[in-house]
Amino acid sequence: MIRQEAVAGLGVLVVVPEDHKRGFISLTELRSSRSTHKLAGSRTVPMESLEVGETQAQTLERLTKEEIQLRHFTYDPSRVLSSRLVTCELRPGVRVPTYLLQVPPKTNIIVGSEAHEVADLRWTPFEEVLEAPKGDLSLRPGTREAILSYLDFSRNNGGFKPAIYKYSDLKDPIPDEVFDMVEAGLSVKASLFRLKLASAPFARSLLLVHSQSPQASFLGHVEAQ
Protein backbone atom coordinates (compact mmCIF):
# COMPACT_ATOMS: atom_id res chain seq x y z
CA MET A 1 0.00 0.00 0.00
CA ILE A 2 1.32 3.45 -0.98
CA ARG A 3 1.35 5.91 1.92
CA GLN A 4 2.10 9.64 2.16
CA GLU A 5 1.85 10.05 -1.59
CA ALA A 6 1.38 13.23 -3.56
CA VAL A 7 -0.75 13.34 -6.68
CA ALA A 8 1.65 14.77 -9.26
CA GLY A 9 -0.79 14.94 -12.16
CA LEU A 10 -3.05 12.73 -14.22
CA GLY A 11 -3.24 10.89 -17.50
CA VAL A 12 -6.05 9.93 -19.86
CA LEU A 13 -6.40 6.84 -21.98
CA VAL A 14 -8.33 7.99 -25.06
CA VAL A 15 -10.16 5.18 -26.86
CA VAL A 16 -13.08 4.61 -29.19
CA PRO A 17 -15.07 1.87 -27.40
CA GLU A 18 -16.76 0.75 -30.63
CA ASP A 19 -13.43 0.31 -32.43
CA HIS A 20 -11.05 -1.75 -30.31
CA LYS A 21 -8.67 -2.24 -33.24
CA ARG A 22 -7.97 1.49 -33.38
CA GLY A 23 -6.16 1.27 -30.06
CA PHE A 24 -5.44 4.42 -28.06
CA ILE A 25 -4.04 7.93 -28.54
CA SER A 26 -0.33 8.21 -27.82
CA LEU A 27 2.22 11.01 -28.11
CA THR A 28 5.99 11.30 -28.23
CA GLU A 29 7.60 13.18 -25.36
CA LEU A 30 9.97 15.95 -26.46
CA ARG A 31 11.46 16.71 -23.04
CA SER A 32 12.92 14.65 -20.21
CA SER A 33 12.11 15.07 -16.53
CA ARG A 34 13.43 13.05 -13.62
CA SER A 35 10.65 14.28 -11.30
CA THR A 36 7.87 13.09 -13.59
CA HIS A 37 9.83 10.05 -14.81
CA LYS A 38 9.83 10.68 -18.54
CA LEU A 39 12.41 10.59 -21.32
CA ALA A 40 12.42 12.55 -24.52
CA GLY A 41 11.53 10.17 -27.35
CA SER A 42 9.33 7.84 -25.33
CA ARG A 43 5.68 7.30 -26.21
CA THR A 44 3.01 8.07 -23.65
CA VAL A 45 -0.68 8.46 -23.05
CA PRO A 46 -1.56 12.16 -22.64
CA MET A 47 -0.40 13.26 -19.16
CA GLU A 48 -0.40 16.61 -17.40
CA SER A 49 1.24 17.77 -14.17
CA LEU A 50 -0.93 19.04 -11.34
CA GLU A 51 -0.17 22.68 -10.58
CA VAL A 52 -0.16 24.04 -7.02
CA GLY A 53 -3.71 24.61 -5.77
CA GLU A 54 -5.24 22.98 -8.82
CA THR A 55 -8.02 20.38 -8.71
CA GLN A 56 -7.91 17.29 -10.89
CA ALA A 57 -10.84 18.69 -12.89
CA GLN A 58 -8.77 21.79 -13.66
CA THR A 59 -5.77 19.67 -14.59
CA LEU A 60 -7.96 17.60 -16.92
CA GLU A 61 -9.22 20.79 -18.54
CA ARG A 62 -5.63 21.95 -19.14
CA LEU A 63 -4.65 18.54 -20.47
CA THR A 64 -7.36 18.73 -23.13
CA LYS A 65 -6.05 22.13 -24.21
CA GLU A 66 -2.30 21.79 -23.85
CA GLU A 67 -1.55 18.11 -24.53
CA ILE A 68 -4.40 17.19 -26.85
CA GLN A 69 -7.47 18.92 -28.23
CA LEU A 70 -10.74 17.20 -29.06
CA ARG A 71 -12.54 18.76 -32.01
CA HIS A 72 -16.34 18.57 -32.25
CA PHE A 73 -16.66 16.61 -29.01
CA THR A 74 -17.33 17.74 -25.45
CA TYR A 75 -16.54 15.30 -22.66
CA ASP A 76 -18.07 15.17 -19.19
CA PRO A 77 -15.24 15.82 -16.67
CA SER A 78 -17.11 14.14 -13.80
CA ARG A 79 -17.59 11.02 -15.88
CA VAL A 80 -13.92 10.89 -16.84
CA LEU A 81 -12.73 11.44 -13.26
CA SER A 82 -15.06 8.68 -12.03
CA SER A 83 -13.47 6.25 -14.52
CA ARG A 84 -10.05 5.67 -13.00
CA LEU A 85 -8.16 2.83 -14.63
CA VAL A 86 -4.90 2.76 -12.72
CA THR A 87 -2.65 4.69 -10.35
CA CYS A 88 1.11 4.50 -10.84
CA GLU A 89 3.77 5.69 -8.44
CA LEU A 90 6.17 7.25 -10.94
CA ARG A 91 8.65 8.26 -8.27
CA PRO A 92 8.69 7.10 -4.64
CA GLY A 93 5.75 8.82 -2.96
CA VAL A 94 4.53 10.53 -6.17
CA ARG A 95 1.54 9.01 -7.93
CA VAL A 96 -0.31 9.69 -11.16
CA PRO A 97 -3.79 8.25 -11.83
CA THR A 98 -4.90 7.54 -15.39
CA TYR A 99 -8.55 7.89 -16.36
CA LEU A 100 -10.60 6.52 -19.24
CA LEU A 101 -11.75 9.04 -21.85
CA GLN A 102 -14.05 7.46 -24.41
CA VAL A 103 -14.71 9.37 -27.63
CA PRO A 104 -16.95 8.83 -30.70
CA PRO A 105 -15.34 7.34 -33.82
CA LYS A 106 -15.32 10.61 -35.78
CA THR A 107 -13.71 12.74 -33.08
CA ASN A 108 -10.83 14.80 -34.49
CA ILE A 109 -7.92 14.81 -32.04
CA ILE A 110 -4.87 17.04 -32.49
CA VAL A 111 -1.78 18.01 -30.49
CA GLY A 112 -2.62 20.78 -28.05
CA SER A 113 -1.05 24.19 -27.50
CA GLU A 114 2.09 22.76 -25.85
CA ALA A 115 3.49 21.46 -29.13
CA HIS A 116 7.04 22.03 -27.83
CA GLU A 117 6.37 19.37 -25.17
CA VAL A 118 4.81 16.56 -27.22
CA ALA A 119 4.48 15.55 -30.88
CA ASP A 120 3.56 12.73 -33.24
CA LEU A 121 0.00 12.16 -31.99
CA ARG A 122 -1.39 8.93 -33.40
CA TRP A 123 -3.68 6.02 -32.76
CA THR A 124 -1.54 3.20 -31.41
CA PRO A 125 -2.61 -0.48 -31.46
CA PHE A 126 -2.74 -2.10 -28.04
CA GLU A 127 -0.58 -4.89 -29.44
CA GLU A 128 2.28 -2.45 -29.95
CA VAL A 129 2.46 -2.03 -26.19
CA LEU A 130 1.66 -5.61 -25.23
CA GLU A 131 4.34 -7.02 -27.53
CA ALA A 132 7.04 -4.64 -26.33
CA PRO A 133 9.53 -6.40 -24.02
CA LYS A 134 9.35 -5.56 -20.33
CA GLY A 135 11.68 -2.70 -19.55
CA ASP A 136 11.31 -1.19 -23.04
CA LEU A 137 12.13 2.48 -22.48
CA SER A 138 10.30 3.48 -25.67
CA LEU A 139 7.24 3.53 -23.39
CA ARG A 140 6.87 6.13 -20.66
CA PRO A 141 6.37 4.43 -17.30
CA GLY A 142 2.65 4.12 -16.61
CA THR A 143 1.68 3.62 -20.26
CA ARG A 144 1.83 -0.17 -20.28
CA GLU A 145 0.04 -0.29 -16.92
CA ALA A 146 -2.79 1.88 -18.30
CA ILE A 147 -3.25 -0.44 -21.28
CA LEU A 148 -3.24 -3.58 -19.13
CA SER A 149 -5.83 -2.01 -16.81
CA TYR A 150 -8.05 -0.93 -19.71
CA LEU A 151 -8.02 -4.42 -21.21
CA ASP A 152 -8.93 -5.81 -17.79
CA PHE A 153 -11.75 -3.24 -17.59
CA SER A 154 -13.00 -4.28 -21.05
CA ARG A 155 -13.09 -7.95 -20.11
CA ASN A 156 -14.47 -7.54 -16.61
CA ASN A 157 -16.43 -4.28 -16.53
CA GLY A 158 -18.78 -5.27 -13.71
CA GLY A 159 -16.05 -6.45 -11.35
CA PHE A 160 -13.25 -4.14 -12.37
CA LYS A 161 -11.10 -2.54 -9.68
CA PRO A 162 -8.49 0.10 -10.59
CA ALA A 163 -4.98 -1.24 -10.14
CA ILE A 164 -2.30 0.46 -8.06
CA TYR A 165 1.34 0.07 -9.05
CA LYS A 166 4.05 1.03 -6.60
CA TYR A 167 7.28 2.42 -8.00
CA SER A 168 8.97 -0.94 -7.53
CA ASP A 169 6.20 -2.64 -9.56
CA LEU A 170 6.41 -0.53 -12.74
CA LYS A 171 6.87 -2.60 -15.88
CA ASP A 172 9.14 -0.10 -17.66
CA PRO A 173 11.04 1.91 -15.01
CA ILE A 174 13.75 4.34 -16.09
CA PRO A 175 17.01 3.67 -14.23
CA ASP A 176 18.32 6.66 -12.29
CA GLU A 177 21.63 6.23 -14.13
CA VAL A 178 19.91 7.48 -17.31
CA PHE A 179 18.88 10.75 -15.67
CA ASP A 180 22.30 11.03 -14.04
CA MET A 181 23.97 10.92 -17.45
CA VAL A 182 21.51 13.31 -19.07
CA GLU A 183 21.90 15.80 -16.23
CA ALA A 184 25.66 15.49 -16.67
CA GLY A 185 25.32 16.67 -20.27
CA LEU A 186 24.89 13.50 -22.34
CA SER A 187 21.99 13.22 -24.74
CA VAL A 188 19.21 10.74 -24.01
CA LYS A 189 20.33 8.68 -26.98
CA ALA A 190 23.96 8.56 -25.86
CA SER A 191 22.94 7.72 -22.29
CA LEU A 192 20.77 4.82 -23.38
CA PHE A 193 23.35 3.40 -25.75
CA ARG A 194 26.08 3.67 -23.13
CA LEU A 195 23.87 1.71 -20.72
CA LYS A 196 22.82 -0.71 -23.51
CA LEU A 197 19.16 0.22 -23.04
CA ALA A 198 18.22 1.68 -26.45
CA SER A 199 15.82 -0.41 -28.51
CA ALA A 200 15.48 0.07 -32.27
CA PRO A 201 11.96 1.59 -32.01
CA PHE A 202 13.20 4.00 -29.35
CA ALA A 203 16.12 5.03 -31.52
CA ARG A 204 13.62 6.01 -34.23
CA SER A 205 11.64 8.00 -31.65
CA LEU A 206 14.80 9.86 -30.68
CA LEU A 207 15.34 10.85 -34.31
CA LEU A 208 11.79 12.26 -34.28
CA VAL A 209 12.59 14.29 -31.16
CA HIS A 210 15.65 15.74 -32.85
CA SER A 211 13.69 16.71 -35.97
CA GLN A 212 10.83 18.25 -33.96
CA SER A 213 12.83 20.12 -31.33
CA PRO A 214 16.62 20.34 -31.73
CA GLN A 215 16.94 22.30 -28.49
CA ALA A 216 14.79 19.90 -26.44
CA SER A 217 16.09 17.56 -23.77
CA PHE A 218 17.09 15.08 -26.47
CA LEU A 219 20.28 17.11 -26.42
CA GLY A 220 20.70 16.98 -22.69
CA HIS A 221 18.29 19.41 -21.00
CA VAL A 222 16.15 18.00 -18.17
CA GLU A 223 13.25 19.98 -16.78
CA ALA A 224 13.08 20.56 -13.06
CA GLN A 225 9.35 19.83 -12.98
What average pLDDT does the chain have? Answer: 85
Chain-centroid distance of CA 203 in Å reads 18
Structure confidence at residue 190 as a pLDDT band (50, 70, 90): confident
What predicted TM-score, i.e. pTM, was given to this entire model?
Answer: 0.86
CATH number assigned to the domain with residue range 6-174, chosen from the 4 options 3.30.230.10, 3.30.420.40, 3.10.129.10, 3.90.79.10? 3.90.79.10
CA nearest to 203, candidates 191, 185, 186: 191
pLDDT at 222 over 80: no
Q: What percent of the chain has pLDDT over 90?
A: 60
Enumerate the domain spans of the chain: 6-174
Q: What is the pLDDT of residues 47-103, one digit of tens each?
A: 999 998 999 999 999 999 999 999 989 999 999 999 999 999 988 888 999 999 999
Report the pLDDT averaged over residues 220-224: 33
Q: How far apart are CA 140 and CA 44, in angstroms?
A: 5
In this model, does residue 223 exceed pLDDT 70? no
pLDDT of residue 1: 36
The span from the CA of 125 to the CA of 104, in Å, is 17
Alpha carbon distance 160, 150 (integer Å): 10
Q: How confident is the model at residue 188 (pLDDT cuts 50, 70, 90)?
A: confident
The 10s digit of each residue's pLDDT in 116-142 is 889 999 999 999 999 888 877 889 999
Residue 218's pLDDT is 35
Q: pLDDT tens digits for 55-66?
A: 999 999 999 999
Closest CA to 41 of 157, 205, 213, 216: 205
